[in-house]
């Protein structure tokens, strides 16, 4: 069976890395090729290096401040050339990016089967997250195999009339996290301690990540002003904010947060440094989907800086709280977690609803059966 993986961002690479490794164990059954669109160039390359993934096709599509129509047109044309060259039996896509949707679309145009990893996530609002919500809905209606992370994701697909070939398998992000932590723990810890030497790692650390397109402008300024107030009112706490490369993120972050002694603005972290820091953190403020899934496996409470999330299982299971981009709610919820030991304990000890680290094996076992 000839299988083409298509992805373009760091989160996709992280979540597909353990699946690529698992498929690669069966070279007599599967011929694997990797196509990266490289929507995220530097951040993507870091993950490929860490997990030792070699791209057979690299479209290198990243442009400064590129528009969605621009990247869509260029990506679709290039992907069609790749598919024509390799002629796969199956295309595997993950999540909700443009690479996901366009990878599925080009497969549909050429009547190739599509497997969608992390299928069935829905926020219920087509503009939040934007454009990811529509990307995943359209991908679901093209895909032939749907590997849903949770029972709720399966029910979401059912509501849209998708009933065949749905498999609840967990999320590969937990496979990647556990593998990443193992790699880090086998290595030299001093590398990470030296990298973060300017930060007091012995006290409470709040990790912040934020980059959502729908938050650009006033909502993002609210996030930054909330972090500023938290820093001022809690001088004993260190806030670490790896700042996304997008200028819509960098400008307000540096204007509002530069100069605060206990706020550390870093360049984007590669995957191993990020999960090492996650593991050291006391709590996490984020708008990232992947971190909402990963943090519970590290027993870290999460405040989700979005008004809607497609990962409602975390809210229901008490591993995360939805705080939106309201300055007051972000500040109040953070302060409560810093001071209320009972609340912190209940969140940090809640079980992770997103997986057990065996998702990749379950997916490959299905296709092993199909290849026989």
* Residue 153, pLDDT score: 96
Chain mean pLDDT for the chain: 93
Q: Report the 10 Å Cβ neighbour count for 126.
A: 13
- Residue % of the chain over a pLDDT of 90: 81
The pLDDT of residue 47 is above 80: yes
The model's confidence at residue 372, banded by pLDDT at 50, 70 and 90, is low
Q: Annotated catalytic residue: which of 12, 22, 118, 270?
A: 118
From the candidates 10, 22, 40, 96, give the one annotated as an active-site residue.
96
For residues 190-203, average pLDDT: 91
Catalytic site includes residue 244: yes
The pLDDT tens digits for 54-95 are: 999 999 887 777 788 988 999 999 999 999 999 999 999 999
- Is 255 one of the catalytic residues? no
Is residue 355 exposed (0-12), middle (13-18) or buried (19+ Cβ within 10 Å)?
buried
141 among known catalytic residues: no
Least confident of 206-210, 256-260, 354-358: 354-358
- For 112-170, the pLDDT digits (tens) are 999 999 999 999 999 988 999 999 999 999 999 999 999 999 999 999 999 999 999 99
pLDDT digits (tens, 9 = 90+) for 299-333: 999 999 999 888 899 999 999 999 999 999 999 99
116: left (phi over 0), alpha (psi -120 to 50) or beta: beta
The residue ranking higher by pLDDT, 35 or 47, is: 35
pLDDT for position 129: 87
**Which range among 34-48, 126-140, 302-316, 337-351 shows the weakest confidence by mean pLDDT?**
34-48
Angle at 269 between CA 268 and CA 273, to 5 degrees: 170
C-alpha to C-alpha distance for 349 and 37, rounded to whole angstroms: 38
Asked if residue 279 lies in contact with residue 299, where contact means CB atoms within 8 angstroms, the answer is: no
Q: 132 catalytic, yes or no?
A: yes
Residues 6+ apart with CB under 8 A from 369: none
Q: What are the structural domains of the chain?
A: 2-171+356-371 (3.40.50.2000), 188-348 (3.40.50.2000)
Asked if pLDDT for residue 39 goes beyond 80, the answer is: no
Active site residue 310: no
Q: What is the 3-state secondary structure (H, E, C) of the chain?
A: CEEEEEECCHHHHHHHHHHHHHHHCCCCCCEEEEEECCCCHHHHHHHHHHCCCCCCEECCCCCCCCCHHHHHHHHHHHHHHHHHHHCCCEEEEECCCHHHHHHHHHHHHCCCEEEEECCCCCCCECCECCCHHHHHHHHHHHCCEEEECCHHHHHHHHHCCCCCCEEECCCHHHHHHHHHHHHHHHCCHHHHHHHCCCCCCCCCEEEEECCCHHHCCHHHHHHHHHHHHHHHHCCCCEEEEECCCCHHHHHHHHHHHCCCCCEEEECCCCHHHHHHHHHHCCEEEECCHHHHHHHHHHCCCEEECCCCCCCHHHHHCCCEEECCCCHHHHHHHHHHHHHCHHHHHHHHCCCCCCCCCCHHHHHHHHHHHHHC
Q: Using the Cα atoms of residue 52, residue 58, residue 64 and residue 70 in order, give the sign of their dihedral.
A: negative
Report the pLDDT value the prediction gives residue 371, as an integer from 0 to 100. 64
CA 54 to CA 190: how far, in whole Å?
28
CA quadruple 364, 365, 367, 372: dihedral, nearest 10: 140
Residues 136, 244, 264, 273: which is the catalytic one? 244
Range 253-274 average pLDDT: 94
Cα(64)–Cα(44) distance, rounded to whole angstroms? 16
- Other Cβ atoms closer than 10 A to 249: 21
Catalytic residue, chosen from 211, 273, 311, 362, is 211
Point out the catalytic residue in the list 12, 116, 122, 132: 132
The CA–CA distances, whole Å, from 136 to 46, 104, 272, 313, 351 equal: 25, 10, 27, 18, 26
Each residue of 234-253: pLDDT tens digit?
999 999 999 988 899 999 99
Backbone angles phi, psi at 49, to 5 degrees: -65, -45
Contact assessment for residue 118 and residue 172, using Cβ atoms and an 8 Å cutoff: yes
* pLDDT higher at 247 or 285: 285
| % of the chain beyond a pLDDT of 70 | 99
Paired with 166 in beta bridges are: 146
Choice among 56, 213, 229, 356 that is catalytic: 213
In the predicted structure, residue 43 carries a pLDDT above the cut 80: no
């Amino acid at each position: 069976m000839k299988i083409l993986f298509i992805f373009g961002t760091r989160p996709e690479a992280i979540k597909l890395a353990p699946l690529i490794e698992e498929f690669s164990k069966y070279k007599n059954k599967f011929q694997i090729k990797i196509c990266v669109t490289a929507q995220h160039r530097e951040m993507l390359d870091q993950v490929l290096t860490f997990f030792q993934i070699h791209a057979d096709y690299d479209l290198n599509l990243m442009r400064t401040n590129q528009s969605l129509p621009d990247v869509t047109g260029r990506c679709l044309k290039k992907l069609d050339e790749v598919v024509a060259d390799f002629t796969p039996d199956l295309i595997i896509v993950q999540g909700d990016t443009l690479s996901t949707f366009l990878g599925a679309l080009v497969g549909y145009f050429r009547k190739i089967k599509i497997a969608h990893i992390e299928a069935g996530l829905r926020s219920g609002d087509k503009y939040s997250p934007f454009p990811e919500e529509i990307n995943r809905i359209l991908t679901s209606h093209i895909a032939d195999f749907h590997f849903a992370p949770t029972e709720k994701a399966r029910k979401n697909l059912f509501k849209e009339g998708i009933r065949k070939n749905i498999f609840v398998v967990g999320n590969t992000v937990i496979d990647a996290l556990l593998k990443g932590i193992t790699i880090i723990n086998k290595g030299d810890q001093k590398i990470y301690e030296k990298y973060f030497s300017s930060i007091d790692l012995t006290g409470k650390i709040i990790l912040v990540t934020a980059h959502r397109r729908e938050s650009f402008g006033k909502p993002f300024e609210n996030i930054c002003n909330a972090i500023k107030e938290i820093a001022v009112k809690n001088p004993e706490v260190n806030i670490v904010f790896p700042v996304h490369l997008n200028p819509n993120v960098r400008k307000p972050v540096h204007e509002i947060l530069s100069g605060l002694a206990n706020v550390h603005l870093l360049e984007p972290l590669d995957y191993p440094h990020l999960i090492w820091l996650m593991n050291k953190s006391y709590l996490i403020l984020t708008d990232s989907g992947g971190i909402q899934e990963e943090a519970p496996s590290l027993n870290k409470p999460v405040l989700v800086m979005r008004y809607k999330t497609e990962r409602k299982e975390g809210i229901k299971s008490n591993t995360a709280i939805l705080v939106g981009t309201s300055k007051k709610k972000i500040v109040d919820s953070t302060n409560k977690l810093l001071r209320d030991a009972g609340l912190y304990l209940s969140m940090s000890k809640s079980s992770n609803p997103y997986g057990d680290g065996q998702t990749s094996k379950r997916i490959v076992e299905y296709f092993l059966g199909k290849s026989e």
